[in-house]
Amino acid sequence: MKAFKVNLISTLLSGLIFVSVNPVHAVTLFSDDFSGTSLGSAWEIQRGHATMDDGWVRTQGSTPGSRDAFIMTHEGDSTWSDYEFTTRFNPLGGGDDWYNSQIAFRVQDMHGFAEGTHYRLWINTPSWPDEEGRNTVSLIKTTPDNSYDILDSYRVAPGVLNDSDNTVQVRAVGGDFDVTINGMSGGYFRDDNPILTGGIALGSVWESTTRYDYVNVTAVPEPETYAMLLAGLGVIGFMAHRRKEAAI
């Protein structure tokens, strides 16, 4: 019994040391600052056009041709499950001055505006021409039968979004999705039947142009990692308590 306790404590302490040496904010899955002269080979131009623009990638639709534009990476990647990603975007308008950002995640399949299997975050900035849609953040789920559902929409407070430079962070864990824009809440979304894995895509709709920079994707640590950390801390606390009792 004593040997079992020693082995248990040793295992938990080893886990604590491992987590301490390897921080739980986890592994980088993908990163790109678009500093090259051409789009990296990890990206696929799914629709429209994508060109490099002084440290940004510019996505642009056109008429005739594809009204929308998207680039994507790690489409259908089953190893991308729970993750957090950030990017900057700069809406440049165009078409009918649709100042917007289209960011897709958990992309299993994407071959059109509302085709495939993915989530798409639709962000309209202050210069979006329609008052009802201005300063809104919506999450759309596209399913294999080529239908899509708007899971929810939020109107963010004036000043949260701008027309020059925005930083967006999306945290996708299971069916829970938290969106932060420029350090402020951009909405919480929930899907009870979630798409669980897949890559990301960046783009724009309706002949508009949107630029992107600094894409970073990191894996969200699994619950077991936190459990190991808490267990190790509990063991340390227990041992400290025992030593205190022995000293009395």
Q: Helix, strand, or coil here: 213? A: strand
In the predicted structure, residue 31 carries a pLDDT above the cut 70: yes
DSSP-derived 3-state class of residue 184:
strand
- DSSP annotation string for 97-111: T--EEEEEEEEEEEE
Please tell me whether the peptide bond between 64 and the residue prior to it is cis, using omega within 30 degrees of 0. yes
2-21 helix and 223-247 helix, angle to the nearest 10 degrees: 120
Range 209-222 burial, b when 16+ CB lie within 10 A, else e? bbbbbbbebbbbbe
Ordered alpha helix ranges (H), the chain: 2-21, 223-247
- List Cα–Cα distances, 162 to 41, 59, 139, in angstroms: 31, 18, 19
CATH number of 23-223: 2.60.120.560
- For residue 4, what are its two tokens? 């079992």
Residues 6+ apart with CB under 8 A from 222: 82
Position 166 pLDDT exceeds 70: yes
Are 57 and 50 a contacting pair, CB within 8 Å? yes
Residue 34 has pLDDT above 50, yes or no: yes
Of 95, 65, 80, 107, the residue nearest 202 (C-alpha): 107
Pick from 187, 215, 195: which is nearest to 203 by CA?
A: 215
Residue 81: what are its φ and ψ, rounded to 5°? -115, -95
Q: What is the pLDDT of residue 233?
A: 41
pTM of the model: 0.79
Query: In degrees, to the nearest 5, what angle opens at C-alpha 17 toward C-alphas 14 and 21?
Result: 140
Is a pLDDT exceeding 70 seen at residue 179? yes
Q: How do residues 203-227 score in pLDDT, each as one tens digit?
A: 999 889 999 999 999 999 855 444 4
Which sequence spans correspond to the domains of the chain? 23-223
pLDDT band at 67 (very low <50, low <70, confident <90, very high): confident
Q: Count CB neighbours of 33 within 10 A.
A: 13
